[in-house]
């Protein structure tokens, strides 16, 4: 296929946390609120005068210093983020706000705080740690409302004078939804038999929306959407359509590796993917905006830390629904090595989707940077793709 | 610190290494002088009486042949010997009193499990009055249900079995890993998941309540257990969340609502009604326990600590978690121990020849499986003043039945759950994990920290560098001792002890008090 006009631009954005758009927004005098975890309500960081950047550590090599602080037994994402912070990679941030989502991410940010790893050069810089619900219910919504007020809104307003009124939040949600709508429309192209966008391209574009000021991305996204409408798909087909499910995955190279094996990544249910992170937030007039935002994040959450059993079953049903909608031939469950929540979710999810829903499932753990162990992963994905092909041939007979 | 020497004559065996060989049990029983040996022997007989009582209970023989974990309990006497090594006088009696009651409590749990189990006793009427809870749950939300029986279904196959036989969990870990769960998660919830996958839990109870204590692994492992309970056996399970940043004021309403949800669920499932009178009676007993424990800790902060070691922690576990004020017997045991502690303190009774260092034991501990804490005293003169798991409830809860206290009670129950053993320090931010350690060191006059580095406990190992740096700043000796909890294939007993000995020799440049036990041939022992 012909290259997308803005694709190089998107690729460059995801190659550095302190990317061009972050620098541009900072030059405009906006406050940068860095955060981690998909369970943190994103629109609250995109209030007027402020923008959110979800922390990533692209092209991570060694994590030696982080290994000293956290040992080599912690998930590589948390170690990579700490290493990058110590290297000075997040000095552009004006605050870091982290939920106590999983233990390791929580400890990662605590280590940054204790080691004074982020040197923003401003006395106003602050850390906030917040509790997030562990169940999908109204008690959880009430908790999240309190936490967002105490650990996001009040500190941003008190420290940087950010407007945290209902109107400001409503505007932030509108802007958030605009990006979500564009992403969802772009994602729809993946449903076609001959898609006009590759899974890799889509993963880069989606990732960019997590690590950049969103308003500065709207135009390139809109133009990309228009371009896709007339883009000629490749004649060369793919061998299998895969749905990728997993946790924090900010490495589009992993998707590229899968597609190099002849598969097509038709849907993405992982924490930097479009499901559920790019589902628009519907607001009504009858209730305060913060509660509605928190309800959206509590109920749409697909994180394994949500422990109520109806949600445990619903997570598998959600994957099944996505697989059906996007015509997936198989499902690839992945976890980052040493991640506890996904160690269990990957296994139970893989078993359920295989045994109860009848999908071919590949269940793998992976490093933070896929290039550190690409050969092993390639072999496993190739074998999986082949097994799906064989299954299709058998069914055809 | 100044060395405290034992001026009393220690009768009986002095060189304890003579007791060990490469076998499953010791070469012979320890000679403690006539009086203490007779006392120890009496306790040994009493233990067999308890075990005989279990063997006569309903469903015992079916259970013995159905469940592979049952056979571990033949080794209970060996466990007691492990925890009483080298002890004389009051310390021996304190340990026997505490562990004796722990054994009794586990025996009762096993009896209940076998009685209600559909495969063994199959007593349906009894089973319908039982609520299943996690082995690591603080059962505060059951304090007002005197008509219900709490069954910690995971204790007999996992927790207590592993106290008795270090290899008890290995089979279930393998089952879980064969199913696909990675080997890097904590082996404790992994074992529990493995037991469920192997269908080796008893099947009983009207309903189950699960909690998110103690860690991510434990919380996620519960979903495997709950699925089998619900889908195969029709036993509904409720998941009660306890906040992670539990010291924050702005999470307490959430926690209290979760307690209310659990109580509502139990009422709906069992038909029982919450009884405030029973609740406040339990609350009174919980406060008695808290007062007793704090007093023991006060005495441990003096040069003559009395109640410490693995049994101190085990007794607290049993008293707070599965009991939580429901038993009327525990306060009596507390009192009995208190009398012995006071007597021992007045007589300046010591556990070994001398105390060279005062040590806080921190981290997630395997000390139930190994006689490490007693060995530290006897071999190196390092006295383990207290451990992380024993530093739990610090304040008393409302115990008078008033309208205000009934509302406060939900917050108190939440407080008990949030500060459940272990999770009150592994959650709550670095303040509870790191900062409080140094506060305790000061309070207990400790000059050393023995840091259990449970390699699969992500919450703990993630603070490795901070512990290192802050201990150095404070001039506290920090001894790292790695292990993998209930999987002895990763770190054997001798490998665990070896790390401590290496530090004592290389850094402290000290010689052992009893060189015959520096290296013990007990890797194959139960």
| pLDDT, block means (10 residues), chain A with 397 residues | 95 96 97 96 97 97 95 95 97 97 94 96 94 97 98 98 97 98 98 96 98 97 98 92 96 98 97 96 94 97 95 98 98 96 96 97 96 94 97 90
| Assembly ipTM | 0.95
Pairing of strands B448-454, B477-483: parallel
Burial class for A258, CB neighbours closer than 10 Å (0-12, 13-18, 19+): buried
Inter-chain CB proximity A131 and B254 less than 8 Å: yes
Instruction: Give how far B488 is from chain A: nearest CA, Å.
Output: 18
Inter-chain CB proximity A340 and B212 less than 8 Å: no
The answer to whether A146 and B248 have CB atoms below 8 angstroms apart is: no
Closest CB to A340: pick one of B217, B222, B429: B217
Task: Report the C-alpha gap between B139 and B212 in whole angstroms.
Answer: 13
Asked if the peptide bond before residue A276 counts as cis, ω within 30 degrees of 0, the response is yes
Is A314 part of the contact surface with chain B (CB cutoff 8 Å)? Answer: no
Q: Is B380 helix (H, G, I), strand (E, B) or coil?
A: helix
Q: What is the pLDDT of residue B441?
A: 97
pLDDT at B474 over 80: yes
Residue B224 with chain A: CB contacts under 8 Å: 344, 348
Return all residues near A236 (Cβ < 8 A) that are at least 6 apart.
Answer: none
Sheet-wide strand order for A361-366 = A263-269, A240-246, A330-336, A361-366
Rg (CA), chain B: 22
Residue position matching structure tokens 């793919």? A238
Inter-chain CB proximity B245 and A103 less than 8 Å: no
Q: How far is CA B128 from the centre of its chain?
A: 28
Residue B521 phi/psi, 5-degree rounding, is: -85, 65
**What Cα–Cα distance (Å) separates residue B31 from each residue in B35, B90, B323, B372, B488?**
10, 16, 35, 20, 29
Q: What is the pLDDT of residue A122?
A: 87
Q: What is the pLDDT of residue B368?
A: 73
Instruction: Give how far B382 is from chain A: nearest CA, Å.
Output: 27
Task: Report the C-alpha gap between A283 and A175 in whole angstroms.
Answer: 13
First to last CA, chain A: 33
Chain A CA closest to residue B239 = A308
Percentage of the residues of chain A whose pLDDT score is greater than 90:
95
Across chain B, mean pLDDT equals 95
Secondary structure in 3-state letters for chain A: CCCCCCHHHHHHHCCCCCCHHHHHHHHCCCEEEEECCCCCCHHHHCCCCEEEEECCCCCCCCCHHHHHHHCCCCCHHHHHHHHHHHCCCCCCCCEEEEECCCHHHHHHHHHHHHCCCCCCCCCCCEEEEECCCCCCCHHHHHHHHHHHHHHHHHHHHHHHCCCCCHHHHHHHHHHHHHHHHHHHHHHHHHHCCCCCCCHHHHHHHHHHHHHCCHHHHHHHHHHHHHHHHHCCCCCCCCCEEEEEEECCCCCHHHHHHHHHCCEEEEEEECCCCCCCCCCCCCCCCCCCHHHHHHHHHHHHCCCCCCCCHHHHHHHHHHHHHHHHHCCCCEEEEEEECCCHHHHHHHHHHHHHHHHCCCCCEEEEEECCCHHHHHHHHHHHHHHHHHHHHHHHHHHHC
Chain B CA closest to residue A364 = B180
| Average of per-residue pLDDT across B30-52 | 96
Inter-chain CB proximity A139 and B224 less than 8 Å: no
Instruction: Give how far A340 is from chain B: nearest CA, Å.
Output: 5
Closest CB to A347: pick one of B180, B222, B241: B180
Task: Report the C-alpha gap between A318 and A269 in whole angstroms.
Answer: 9
Inter-chain CB proximity B430 and A114 less than 8 Å: yes
Residue A73 with chain B: CB contacts under 8 Å: 184, 455-456, 458, 461
| Average of per-residue pLDDT across B3-15 | 91
* Ramachandran region, residue B180 (left: φ > 0; alpha: ψ -120 to 50; beta: rest): left
The answer to whether B421 and B388 have CB atoms below 8 angstroms apart is: no
Residue A118 phi/psi, 5-degree rounding, is: -95, 120
Inter-chain CB proximity B219 and A134 less than 8 Å: yes
Q: What is the pLDDT of residue A388?
A: 97
Inter-chain CB proximity A338 and B458 less than 8 Å: yes
Is A76 part of the contact surface with chain B (CB cutoff 8 Å)? Answer: no
Residues A90-126: tens digit of each pLDDT: 999 999 999 998 999 999 999 999 999 999 888 999 9
* Ramachandran region, residue B300 (left: φ > 0; alpha: ψ -120 to 50; beta: rest): alpha
Residues B406-457: tens digit of each pLDDT: 999 999 999 999 998 888 999 999 999 999 999 999 999 999 999 999 999 9
Residues B206-255: tens digit of each pLDDT: 999 999 977 888 899 999 999 999 999 999 999 999 999 999 999 999 99
Inter-chain CB proximity B221 and A344 less than 8 Å: yes
Residues A80-89: tens digit of each pLDDT: 999 999 999 9
**What Cα–Cα distance (Å) separates residue A202 from each residue in A39, A208, A254, A256, B177?**
22, 10, 13, 10, 35
Q: What is the pLDDT of residue B25?
A: 84
Residue A113 with chain B: CB contacts under 8 Å: 430
Q: What is the pLDDT of residue B2?
A: 85
Q: Is B208 helix (H, G, I), strand (E, B) or coil?
A: strand
Mutate to test the interface with A, among B137, B173, B182 (most CBs of A within 10 A): B182
Q: What is the pLDDT of residue B248?
A: 96
Residue A340 with chain B: CB contacts under 8 Å: 185-186, 215-217, 220, 458
Instruction: Give how far B494 is from chain A: nearest CA, Å.
Output: 23
pLDDT-based confidence at B321, cuts 50/70/90?
Answer: confident
Is A77 part of the contact surface with chain B (CB cutoff 8 Å)? Answer: no
Return all residues near A358 (Cβ < 8 A) that are at least 6 apart.
Answer: none
Closest CB to A308: pick one of B224, B239, B459: B239
Residue among B394, B386, B451 at smallest CA distance from B418: B394
Q: How far is CA B405 from the centre of its chain?
A: 30
Chain B CA closest to residue A134 = B241
Closest CB to B241: pick one of A111, A134, A337: A134
Neighbours of B236 (CB within 10 A): 16
First to last CA, chain B: 36
Instruction: Give how far A365 is from chain B: nearest CA, Å.
Output: 9
Task: Report the C-alpha gap between B25 and A159 in whole angstroms.
Answer: 65
Neighbours of B5 (CB within 10 A): 12
Instruction: Give how far A142 is from chain B: nearest CA, Å.
Output: 8
Inter-chain CB proximity B466 and A142 less than 8 Å: no
- Tokens representing B14? 């002095």
Residue B446 phi/psi, 5-degree rounding, is: -95, 145
Instruction: Give how far A103 is from chain B: nearest CA, Å.
Output: 6
Is A102 part of the contact surface with chain B (CB cutoff 8 Å)? Answer: yes
Inter-chain CB proximity B185 and A344 less than 8 Å: yes
Chain A CA closest to residue B223 = A309
Residue among B239, B241, B273, B264 at smallest CA distance from B254: B241
How many inter-chain contacts (A to B, CB under 8 Å) are there? Answer: 158
pLDDT at B193 over 80: yes
Residue among B43, B82, B26 at smallest CA distance from B374: B82
Inter-chain CB proximity B241 and A307 less than 8 Å: yes
Inter-chain CB proximity B458 and A69 less than 8 Å: no
pLDDT at B371 over 90: no
Task: Report the C-alpha gap between A205 and A199 in whole angstroms.
Answer: 10
Mutate to test the interface with A, among B216, B221, B260, B414 (most CBs of A within 10 A): B216
Is A380 part of the contact surface with chain B (CB cutoff 8 Å)? Answer: no
Inter-chain CB proximity A70 and B237 less than 8 Å: no
The answer to whether B311 and B175 have CB atoms below 8 angstroms apart is: no
Percentage of the residues of chain B whose pLDDT score is greater than 70:
100
Spell out a b/e string for B347-376, using b for 16 or more CB atoms within 10 Å of the CB, else e.
eebbbbbebbbbbbbbbbbbbbbbbbbbbb
Inter-chain CB proximity A307 and B455 less than 8 Å: no
**What Cα–Cα distance (Å) separates residue B142 from each residue in A22, A147, B156, B214, B317?**
53, 29, 20, 19, 17
Asked if the peptide bond before residue B327 counts as cis, ω within 30 degrees of 0, the response is no
Geometric angle at alpha carbon A309, from B425 and B148, rounded to 5°: 75
Model pTM?
0.95
Q: What is the pLDDT of residue B217?
A: 87
């Amino acid at each position: 296929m012909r290259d997308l006009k803005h694709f190089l631009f998107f690729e460059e954005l995801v190659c550095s946390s302190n990317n061009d758009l972050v620098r541009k927004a900072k030059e405009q005098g906006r406050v940068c609120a860095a955060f981690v975890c998909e369970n943190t309500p994103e629109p609250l960081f995109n209030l007027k005068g402020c923008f959110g950047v979800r922390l990533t550590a692209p092209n991570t090599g060694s994590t030696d210093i982080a290994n000293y602080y956290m040992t080599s037994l912690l998930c590589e994402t948390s170690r990579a983020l700490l290493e990058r912070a110590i290297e000075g990679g997040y000095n552009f941030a004006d605050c870091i706000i982290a939920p106590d989502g999983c233990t390791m991410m929580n400890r990662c940010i605590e280590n940054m705080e204790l080691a004074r790893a982020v040197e923003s050069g401003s006395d106003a810089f602050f850390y906030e740690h917040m509790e997030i619900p562990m169940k999908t219910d109204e008690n959880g919504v009430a908790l999240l409302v309190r936490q967002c007020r105490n650990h996001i809104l009040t500190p941003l307003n008190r420290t940087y004078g950010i407007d945290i009124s209902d109107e400001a939040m409503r505007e932030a949600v509108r802007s958030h939804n605009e990006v979500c709508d564009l992403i969802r429309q772009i994602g729809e192209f993946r449903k076609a038999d001959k898609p006009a966008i590759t899974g890799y391209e889509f993963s880069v574009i989606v990732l960019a929306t997590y690590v950049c000021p969103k308003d500065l991305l709207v135009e390139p996204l809109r133009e990309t959407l228009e371009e896709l409408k007339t883009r000629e798909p490749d004649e060369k087909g793919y061998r299998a359509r895969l749905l990728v499910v997993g946790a924090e995955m900010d490495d589009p190279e992993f998707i590229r590796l899968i597609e190099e094996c002849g598969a097509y990544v038709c849907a993405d249910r992982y924490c930097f993917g479009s499901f559920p992170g790019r589902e628009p937030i519907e607001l009504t007039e009858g209730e305060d905006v913060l509660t509605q935002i928190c309800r959206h994040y509590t109920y749409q959450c697909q994180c394994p830390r949500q422990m109520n059993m109806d949600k445990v079953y619903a997570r598998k049903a959600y994957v099944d629904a996505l697989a059906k909608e996007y015509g997936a031939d198989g499902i690839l469950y992945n976890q980052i090595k040493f991640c506890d929540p996904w160690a269990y979710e990957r296994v139970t999810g893989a078993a359920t989707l295989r045994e109860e829903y009848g999908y071919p499932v590949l269940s793998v753990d992976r490093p933070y940077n896929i290039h550190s162990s690409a050969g092993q992963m390639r072999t496993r994905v190739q074998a999986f793709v082949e097994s799906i092909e064989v299954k299709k041939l058998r069914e055809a007979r | 610190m100044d060395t405290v020497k034992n001026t009393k004559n220690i009768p009986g065996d002095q060189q304890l290494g003579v007791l060990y060989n490469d076998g499953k049990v010791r070469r012979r029983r320890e000679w403690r002088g006539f009086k203490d040996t007779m006392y120890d022997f009496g306790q040994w007989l009493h233990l067999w009486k308890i075990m005989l009582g279990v063997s006569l209970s309903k469903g015992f023989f079916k259970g013995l042949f159905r469940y592979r974990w049952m056979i571990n309990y033949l080794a209970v006497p060996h466990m007691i010997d492990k925890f009483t090594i080298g002890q004389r006088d009051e310390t021996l009696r304190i340990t026997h009193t505490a562990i004796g009651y722990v054994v009794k409590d586990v025996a009762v749990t096993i009896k209940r499990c076998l009685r209600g189990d559909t495969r063994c006793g199959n007593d349906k009427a009894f089973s319908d009055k039982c609520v299943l809870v996690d082995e690591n749950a603080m059962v505060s939300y059951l304090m007002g249900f005197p008509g219900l029986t709490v069954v910690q279904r995971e204790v007999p196959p996992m927790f207590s079995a592993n106290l008795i036989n270090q290899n008890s969990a290995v089979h279930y870990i393998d089952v879980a890993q064969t199913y696909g769960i990675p080997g890097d998660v904590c082996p404790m919830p992994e074992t529990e998941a493995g037991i469920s996958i192997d269908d080796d839990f008893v099947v009983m109870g009207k309903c189950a309540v699960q909690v998110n204590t103690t860690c991510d692994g434990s919380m996620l492992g519960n979903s495997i257990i709950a699925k089998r309970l619900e889908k195969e056996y029709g036993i509904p399970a409720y998941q009660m969340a306890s906040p992670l940043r539990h010291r924050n004021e702005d999470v307490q309403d959430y926690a209290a609502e979760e307690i209310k949800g659990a109580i509502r669920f139990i009422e709906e499932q069992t038909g029982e009604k919450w009884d405030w009178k029973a609740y406040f009676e339990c609350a009174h007993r919980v406060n008695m326990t808290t007062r007793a424990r704090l007093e023991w800790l006060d005495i441990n902060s003096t040069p003559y600590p009395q109640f410490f070691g693995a049994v101190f922690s085990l007794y607290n576990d049993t008293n707070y978690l599965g009991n939580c004020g429901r038993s009327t017997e525990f306060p009596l045991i507390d009192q009995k121990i208190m009398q012995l502690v006071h007597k021992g303190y007045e007589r300046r009774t010591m556990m070994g020849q001398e105390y060279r260092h005062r040590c806080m034991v921190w981290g997630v501990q395997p000390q139930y499986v190994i006689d490490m804490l007693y060995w530290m005293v006897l071999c190196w003169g390092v006295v383990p003043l207290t451990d992380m798991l024993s530093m739990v409830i610090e304040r008393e809860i409302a115990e008078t039945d008033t309208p205000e206290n009934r509302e406060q009670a939900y917050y108190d129950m939440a407080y008990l759950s949030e500060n459940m053993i272990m999770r009150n320090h592994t959650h709550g931010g670095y303040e509870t994990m790191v900062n409080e350690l140094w506060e305790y060191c000061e309070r207990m006059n400790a000059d050393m920290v023995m840091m259990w580095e449970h390699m699969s406990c992500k919450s703990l190992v993630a603070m490795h560098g901070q512990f290192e740096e802050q201990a150095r700043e404070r001039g506290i000796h920090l001894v790292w001792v790695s292990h993998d909890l209930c999987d002895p294939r990763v770190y054997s007993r001798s490998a665990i002890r070896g790390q401590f000995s290496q530090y004592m020799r290389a850094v402290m440049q000290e010689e052992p008090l009893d060189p015959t036990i520096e290296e013990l041939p007990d890797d194959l022992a139960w």
